Amino acid sequence: MKKILVINGPNLNLLGQREPAIYGGTTLEEINLGLKQKAASMGLVLDFFQTNHEGEIVDRLQKLDGDFDGAALNAGAYTHTSLAIRDAILAIQTPVIEVHLSNPYARESYRQRSFLSGACRGVVGGFGARSYELALYWFATT
């Protein structure tokens, strides 16, 4: 079974209460529980990591090789600002899929640029929690 790490960045720990019109009313814990069940039916094993700190995301990415077969990364606002996270993705062999709950291209202009997309294997966004499921589907079928 493939082992996948789901990495969530800043403020995603506030899902369910943070801007529900954009991000929905489901908590991160609820999303993770649903993903774990979905992953099992796809033959995947999941682990989860959430932090509000950029350097912790970099550290976690650097430790993926050999421990995980892939990562689904929702870097939150760091998507639009972090060359450090981009460089960490480029430095590892483990494939990373960029994930967004909302559609960044339907949002503010400063959210329409990702520093991470070009370093990732793919990008999924705009489908709420299903964006994570679509990323898992890719890992399950490749």
DSSP state of 76: G
Indicate if 105 belongs to the active site. Answer: no
Nearest Cα to Cα of residue 70 among 92, 91, 101: 92
Q: How far is CA 120 from the centre of its chain?
A: 11
Residue 53 annotated as catalytic = no
Number of neighbouring beta carbons within 10 Å of residue 107: 14
Instruction: Out of 23, 53, 80, 110, pick the active-site residue.
Output: 23
Q: Which of 53, 78, 80, 100 is catalytic?
A: 100
Active site residues: 23, 100
